Structure 1
Amino acid sequence: MPDSNAKQTIETIFSAEDIQARLRVLAAEITAKSPENLLVVPVLKGSFVFAADLLRALHAAGLAPEVDFLTLSSYRKSRESLGQVSILRDLDLDVQNRHVILIDDVLDSGRTLAFAKDLISARGANRIETCVLLDKKAPRAVSIEPDYCAFECPNVFVVGYGMDVAHRYRELPFVGRLVD
Structure 2
Amino acid sequence: MIRRGSTLDRALLLKFMQRTYQDLFPNEDFSHLEQTVKQYFSSDTPLWWVEEEGEQGSRGAGEQGNNKKFLSSTPHPHPCIACLWVGNAIDQVQGNRHAHIFILYVVPEHRRRGIGTALMRYVENWAIQRGDRQIGLQVFQSNKPALNLYNQLGYQTQSLWMVKFLSAEK
TM above 0.5, yes or no, is no
Q: TM-score, normalised by structure 2?
A: 0.31
Q: Which has the greater radius of gyration?
A: 2
Looking at secondary structure, tell me which structure has more helix per residue: 2
Greater RCO, CA 8 A, separation 6+:
1
Structure 1 or 2: more strand by fraction: 1
